[in-house]
């Protein structure tokens, strides 16, 4: 396990994922009833952008730093507001701290809500535990998030959100992720599920998305309007080097999310472009063959 999220904290992929996460949590808070947040791959909770790792690979400068500095039309500002409110609260002066998904959940959850965090890396799990040891709403477990997931759902609260955000260190990560989702989602088909994947091996991600959609529809676990896919790429996806694109598949998104993403994605792709061929996609993981990876 070599993956360290500190190298990537606040990059374009984090901004999209965390903007969506914060919007979904905001929606869950509209009802008085408690919700549960489950993070299968939690990381350390928050990141110091001046640390050795973040300085060596300052991806955040091409991500959250540009997002903060740019002019935002009202619809974009609205879509980013829950995330940027948290980033603002963590940074009194210059940008030096960025929230991970656990911190976004911890800052948005109410007294009655519950947060369940799985992190398998020993040192990261310890950091996470230390960070939230005094927060009675948060439970940190050093566990394999994939194995834990089927046992964690459905939560007692019956409402809530699962974030599946693996490091994609291993070639078969997509298959592991699909297996974990398939073993857990049928136990909690009404939860909101945010599933992150890189756009590296485009066939693998397309197979994952379309396979998930077809399975959900066949098993009558979701209807097409309950599935949303949001992808962002900051340069040509075929280009060499660092990650060029990533995105999320959301099962049971809040009904307001599609319109927010329709405003946010084109703005992000323009604002965060790192060269030729930046782009975005928002759809429902279409299962017909006419949508293929050639469309990227």
Ligand X SMILES: C[S@@+](CC[C@H](N)C(=O)[O-])C[C@H]1O[C@@H](n2cnc3c(N)ncnc32)[C@H](O)[C@@H]1O
Q: Which residues are the active-site residues?
A: 165
The answer to whether residue 178 forms part of the interface with ligand X (CB under 6 A) is no
Shortest Å distance, C-beta 248 to ligand X: 11
| Stretch of 41-49, 184-192, 238-246, 263-271 lying at the interface with ligand X (CB under 6 A) | 41-49
Beta carbon of residue 292, minimum distance to ligand X (angstroms, whole number): 27
Q: What is the largest CA-CA distance in the chain?
A: 52
258 contributes a contact to ligand X by CB under 6 A = no
Q: Which stretch binds ligand X (CB under 6 A): 77-85, 138-146, 241-249, 254-262?
A: 138-146
Cβ 125 vs Cβ 40: under 8 Å: no
Q: How far apart are CA 84 and CA 67, in angstroms?
A: 9
Cα separation of 25 and 214, whole Å? 27
Residues 210-249, one symbol each (x = binds ligand X by CB under 6 A, - = not), give ----------------------------------------
Among 59, 113, 124, 209, binds ligand X (CB under 6 A): 124
CB of 135 to ligand X, least distance (A): 16
Site for ligand X contains 128 (CB under 6 A) = no
Answer for which of 41, 137, 226, 229 binds ligand X (CB under 6 A) is 41
Using alpha carbons, select from 286, 201, 296 the residue that is nearest to residue 249: 286
Q: How many helical (H) and strand (E) elements, i.e. helices and strands, does the chain have?
A: 10, 10
User: Which position among 101, 192, 252, 269 is part of the footprint of ligand X (CB under 6 A)?
Assistant: 101
Question: Which residue sits closest to ligand X, CB atoms considered?
Answer: 100
Which one of the spans 163-171, 254-262, 270-278, 283-291 is the region binding ligand X (CB under 6 A)? Answer: 163-171
Q: Which residue has the tokens 């350390």?
A: 44
10 near ligand X (CB under 6 A): no
Rounded Cα distance between 85 and 232, Å, is 22
Establish if 3 lies at the interface with ligand X (CB under 6 A): yes
Strand partners, 196: 248
Q: How far is residue 21's CA from residue 18's CA, in Å, rounded to a whole number? A: 5
43 binds ligand X (CB under 6 A): yes
**1 contributes a contact to ligand X by CB under 6 A:** yes
Residue 105 lies near ligand X (rule: CB under 6 A): no
Q: Which is nearer to ligand X, 210 or 245 (CB)?
A: 245
Q: Which of 189, 212, 39 is nearest to 114 (CA)?
A: 39
Q: Does 165 bind ligand X (CB under 6 A)?
A: yes
Half-sphere exposure in the Cβ direction for 229 (13 Å, CA): 20
DSSP letter for each residue of 32-89 = SS--EEEESS-TTSEEETTSHHHHHS-GGGGTHHHHHHS---HHHHHHHHHHHHHHHH
Nearest alpha-carbon partner for 200 in 254, 142, 240: 240
Beta carbon of residue 173, minimum distance to ligand X (angstroms, whole number)? 9
Give the integer Cα–Cα distance in Å for 200 and 292.
Answer: 15
Q: Does 197 bind ligand X (CB under 6 A)?
A: no
| 37, 132, 146, 208: residue in contact with ligand X (rule CB under 6 A) | 146
Positions touching ligand X (CB under 6 A) are: 1, 3, 5, 39, 41-43, 100-101, 118-121, 124, 144-146, 165-167
């Amino acid at each position: 396990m070599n993956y360290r999220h500190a190298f990537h904290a606040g990059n374009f992929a984090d901004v999209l994922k965390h903007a969506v996460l914060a919007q979904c949590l905001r929606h869950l808070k509209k009802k008085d009833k408690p919700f549960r947040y489950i993070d299968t791959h939690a990381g350390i909770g928050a990141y110091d952008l001046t640390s050795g790792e973040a300085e060596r690979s300052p991806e955040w400068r091409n991500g959250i730093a540009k997002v903060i500095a740019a002019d935002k039309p009202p619809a974009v500002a609205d879509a980013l507001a829950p995330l940027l409110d948290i980033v603002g609260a963590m940074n009194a002066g210059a940008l030096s701290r960025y929230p991970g998904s656990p911190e976004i959940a911890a800052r948005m959850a109410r007294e009655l809500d519950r947060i369940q965090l799985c992190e398998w890396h020993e040192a990261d799990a310890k950091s996470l535990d230390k960070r939230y040891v005094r927060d009675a709403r948060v439970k940190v477990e050093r566990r394999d998030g994939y194995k834990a997931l089927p046992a964690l759902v459905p939560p007692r609260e019956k409402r809530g959100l699962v974030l599946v955000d693996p490091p994609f260190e291993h070639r078969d990560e997509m298959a592991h992720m699909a297996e974990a989702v398939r073993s857990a989602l049928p136990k909690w088909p009404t939860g909101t599920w945010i599933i992150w994947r890189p756009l590296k091996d485009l066939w693998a991600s397309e197979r994952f998305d379309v396979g998930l959609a077809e399975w959900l529809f066949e098993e009558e676990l979701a209807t097409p309007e309950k599935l949303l896919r949001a992808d962002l790429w900051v340069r040509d996806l075929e280009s060499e080097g660092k990650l060029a694109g990533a995105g999320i598949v959301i099962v049971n998104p809040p009904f307001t999310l599609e319109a927010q993403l329709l405003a946010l994605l084109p703005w992000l792709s323009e604002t965060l472009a790192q060269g030729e061929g930046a782009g975005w996609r928002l759809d429902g993981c279409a299962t017909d063959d006419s949508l293929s990876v050639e469309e990227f």
